[in-house]
Amino acid sequence: MSSAISCQISSIGALLRSSGKLTVPPYQRNYAWEEENYSDLWSDIQETFNGKADEYFLGSVVIDNSSSPNLTLIDGQQRVTTTTILICALKWHLLSNNFTELATLVTHDFLSRPDYDHHSLTPNLELNLNDRDFFERYIITAYDPKLLTNLTDEENYSPSNLQLAACYAYMCKEIANLFKDGQSLETVAHEIISALQEKIFLIRIDVADDLQAFTLFEALNNRGVELSEADLLKNFIFSKAEENIDELKSNWEIMCQNIGHYSLMRFLRHQWNSHKGAVPSQGLFSVIKKHTKTSADARALSQQITQSSEFYGAILEPNHDLWRRVSTKETEAIKSILGHLSLMRAEQCYILLMAVLEHSPDNFLSYLVMIRNFTFRYATICGKNTAQIQRAYMKAAHQIRQNQPDSGSESTTESIQDQTHSPGHMSANECFNQFFAELYPQDNQFQSTFAKKSIRNTALARHILAQINNHLKAPEEKLYCTTSLDIDLEHILPKKYKDHWQDKKEDFPGGLHKYIHRLGNMTLISPDSNRRLGNADFEKKRDVYQTQPLEITKRIINEPIWSADAIRRRQNWLASEATKIWKFPVNTEKNK
């Protein structure tokens, strides 16, 4: 058995056109890219279509070639799958506009190969078991993207299936934008095909057996890969330091301590977005290098990112020392909302929150409320375009920083309470009206989407239900510690249901599994009660729910049976209450 590992530069087109099938192994994760990821990829590679960039480096892929000519894709499946989806979107446009011959060439070159045994075409790229059927049925065949956008997880489609559909619809839309700008579709198609074959490159790493693949996969995905990029940036800044080298080394160490285990490169990207503007997904180093020419530039950058890192560290950590320096009456609300933002994975908002902490800290809580409620509506429930809100966060951050004096290296967060509101500071309401109001999902859209929502993240579902329960109760009865062990998330129709639930399958059209993760099928109970109940039948559960103190759980006891209709009724009620809670502007202190 050979132990050699080979490495070569290849175009993505050459990889997809290889003679054998490219297979994602069963143990690999499902398709996971969201719009932030595939929009970044599109933004970068489309510059090779219009001549703005000579080439684009897609990264590395790891391939097990032990069954050559068929290949197993060990690492890089998200990028390869997304590029294939781009080609499928091009195929749809070609078929829709009667470029049938060109569509056939694209199919035979990049998407499918002949299967003479079955007298058919088989896809060049085969995804894992969860995504394979959907990918081959809808994406490879270039299905109408408008029809795919109406699919929901209620129709037995997994979240990764829906993400594949969303990426496909996005690529179809972006390609349409290219030829709507004046170019012919045929020209656009030739530009894309040429780029795939001649301008978009990757490093193809081949291994000869499973052991090599596993070892290399671990090596490529450990923390050292990320740190190498940070080290490159650090060494560049230090190279410009000259007599300031000791100060810059000290600043870098302080920054690393402030950020802790969080992604250093993500912080640096957000910091640059907050101060300077957008950068390409793989272009932060080149942008910083372009703007850092002298020792003074390097010192100023070092001071700026070090100061920002303490604010950023505080945003990441609700128990950070910084929050001891703010008004005591606001501390619990700040900690609670920061925890909520973390649950919602709302990292893009850090771009704006850094600017608020630096220049308008007295408004910080009102900004948190605005961002929390907007994010919950826009992203968590309605699942809208995250690229748009990143642009809004950057614009708002720049507006806050506009005409503000540079705080400089001598300023520290210890003075946060000493900074007072001035007429030049933009309030959260003003910021919302200027940058977010047009994106804000209105009540009818939010309520109807919430009424159909499934949530698989246990902590997030528990938080949502706890907030609704808080809304129903007096302030002294609120559940501030919604991520603690004080309450458990209970699935009324259990995730692992037994025969007594199977016997009621006629009450759940389409199958019981469709309803398990619906918010209407969830409530909150004490951990002891949850352990005792397990997957008991509804009658036994209802007896226990009667003993629970939470209003959100007591409301279930009036249901005679637990069914799809009961889940819909409960979720419609939850949606109505949620519309009152997650809203902006707010007129009372209730939602803090």
Quote the pLDDT of residue 18.
80
Q: Give yes or no: residues 80 and 201 share one domain.
A: yes
What pLDDT score does 288 carry? 87
pLDDT in tens, 263-300: 888 899 999 999 998 887 667 777 888 889 899 999 99
The pLDDT-based confidence of 496 (bands split at 50, 70, 90) is confident
State the average pLDDT over residues 105-115: 87
Residue 358, class by beta-carbon neighbours within 10 Å (0-12 exposed, 13-18 middle, 19+ buried)?
buried
Higher pLDDT, 586 or 43: 43
Residue 407 has pLDDT above 50, yes or no: no
Report the distance separating Cα 548 and Cα 208, nearest Å. Answer: 59
- Reported residue count of the chain is 592
Reported pTM: 0.63
Q: Is residue 591 assigned to a domain? A: no
Whether 157 shows a pLDDT value over 60: the answer reads yes
Q: Indicate whether 290 and 438 sit together in one domain.
A: yes
Give the residue, 366 or 531, on which the prediction is more confident: 366
* Shared domain check, 47 and 34: yes
**Tens digit of each residue's pLDDT (9 = 90 or more) over 570-583:** 999 999 999 999 99
CA distance 376 to 369: 11
Residue 266 lies in a domain: yes
Residues 262 and 390: their CA atoms lie apart, in Å, by 19
Domain identity same for 162 and 201: yes
Per the domain annotation, does 274 fall within a domain? yes
Can you read off the two tokens belonging to residue 563? 């069914």
Statement: residue 478 has pLDDT above 90: no
Distance CA 372, CA 364 (A): 12
Euclidean distance between CA atoms 84 and 386, whole angstroms: 22
Unique residue bearing structure tokens 């968590």: 380
Say yes or no: 199 and 241 in one domain: no
Same domain assignment for residues 461 and 401: no
**Count of helices and strands (H, E) across the chain:** 26, 10
C-alpha distance from residue 166 to each of 173, 215, 501 (Å): 11, 33, 34
DSSP 102-171: HHHHHIIIIIEEEETTTTEEEESEE--HHHHHHIIIIITTT--HHHHTT--GGGT--HHHHHHHHHHHHH
Kindly state the average pLDDT of the residues 153-173: 86
CA–CA distance from 558 to each of 85, 360, 538, 544, 562 (Å)?
Answer: 48, 49, 12, 13, 10
- The residue out of 173, 196, 221 marking a domain boundary is 221
- Tell me, yes or no, whether 235 and 193 share the same domain: no
DSSP of 344-382, one letter per residue? TT-GGGHHHHHHHHHH-GGGHHHHHHHHHHHHIIIIIIT
**199 and 265 in a common domain:** no
Coarse DSSP helix, strand, coil percentages of the chain, rounded to the nearest 5 percent: 60, 10, 30
Q: Dump pLDDT digits (tens) for 198-235.
A: 999 998 988 886 556 555 555 554 444 444 467 667 87
Residue 588 lies in a domain: no
Residue 181 is encoded by which pair of tokens?
């700008």
With vertex at residue 315, the alpha carbon angle to CA 313 and CA 317, rounded to the nearest 5 degrees, is: 70
405 pLDDT more than 70 = no
In the predicted structure, residue 329 carries a pLDDT above the cut 90:
no
Give me the pLDDT at residue 587, please.
58
Examine the domain organization and report whether 93 and 110 are in the same domain: yes
Higher pLDDT, 236 or 408: 236
Task: Write the DSSP symbol of residue 441.
Answer: P
Buried b (16+ CB within 10 A) or exposed e, 194-220: ebbbebbbbebbbbbeeebbeebbeeb
Label residues 470-481 b or e (16+ Cβ within 10 Å = b): bbeeeeeebbee
Beta pairing partners, 120: 115
Banded model confidence at residue 398, pLDDT cuts 50, 70, 90: very high
The C-alpha atoms of residue 284 and residue 273 are separated, in whole angstroms, by 10
Over residues 351-367, the mean pLDDT reads 92
Question: How many folded domains does the chain comprise?
Answer: 3
* CA nearest to 109, candidates 98, 117, 101: 101
- Pick from 171, 195, 221: which residue ends a domain? 221
Asked if residue 521 has pLDDT above 90, the reply is yes
- End residue of a domain, out of 442, 475, 494: 442
Q: Is residue 592 part of a domain?
A: no
224 vs 73, residue with greater confidence: 73
Contact residues for 492 (Cβ-Cβ < 8 A; gap 6+): 521, 522, 523, 538, 541, 556, 562, 567
> Does 399 have pLDDT greater than 90?
yes
Asked whether residue 166 is domain-assigned, the answer is yes
Instruction: Tell me, yes or no, whether 383 and 487 share the same domain.
Output: no
Flag whether 589 is in a domain.
Answer: no
Q: How far apart are CA 303 and CA 169, in angstroms?
A: 43
Average pLDDT over residues 321-341: 83
Q: Is the Cα dihedral 441, 445, 448, 453 positive or negative?
A: negative
Asked if residue 308 belongs to a domain, the reply is yes
Which phi and psi (to 5°) does residue 545 adopt? -60, -30
The 10s digit of each residue's pLDDT in 125-140 is 999 888 999 999 999 9
Amino acid at residue number 51: G
Task: Give the span between the Cα atoms of 66 and 255, in whole angstroms.
Answer: 45
Strand partners for 123: 112
Is residue 181 very low, low, confident or very high in pLDDT (cuts 50, 70, 90)?
Answer: low
More confident residue, 590 or 369: 369
562: pLDDT strictly greater than 60: yes
Q: Is the pLDDT of residue 383 over 70?
A: yes
Q: What is the dihedral of CA 248, 250, 253, 255, to 10 degrees?
A: -70
pLDDT value at residue 505: 80
Cis peptide before 26 (omega within 30 of 0): no
In terms of Cα–Cα distance, which of 529, 539, 546 is closest to 562? Answer: 539
What integer best gives the mean pLDDT of the chain? 84
Q: Supply 492's token pair.
A: 């009324």
Burial pattern 434-445, b for ≥16 Cβ within 10 A else e, equals ebbeebbbeeee
Q: Is the pLDDT of residue 435 over 90?
A: yes
What is the pLDDT confidence band of residue 146, given thresholds at 50, 70 and 90?
confident
Say yes or no: 412 and 508 in one domain.
no
Per DSSP, the residues of 177-224 read HHHHTT--HHHHHHHHHHHHHHTEEEEEEEESSHHHHHHHHHHHHSHH
pLDDT of residue 419: 39
Give me Rg for the CA atoms of the chain.
27
The enclosing H or E element of 388 equals helix 386-401
pLDDT score, position 536? 85
Residue 505's domain spans which residues?
447-581
Short-list 468, 289, 318, CA closest to 381: 468
- Pair (410, 514) in one structural domain: no
CA distances from 576 to 399, 580, 587 (A): 35, 7, 18
Per-residue confidence (pLDDT) for residue 87, from 0 to 100? 96
Listed residue (529, 554, 338, 552) closest to 461, CA to CA: 552
Q: Which of 212, 89, 198, 75 shows the shortest CA–CA distance to 141?
A: 89
Tell me the two tokens of residue 428. Answer: 């959260």
Specify the pLDDT at position 118.
Answer: 62
- Name all contacts of 230-235 with Cβ < 8 Å and 24+ positions apart: 230/264, 230/265, 230/268, 232/285, 233/265, 233/268, 233/284, 233/285, 233/288
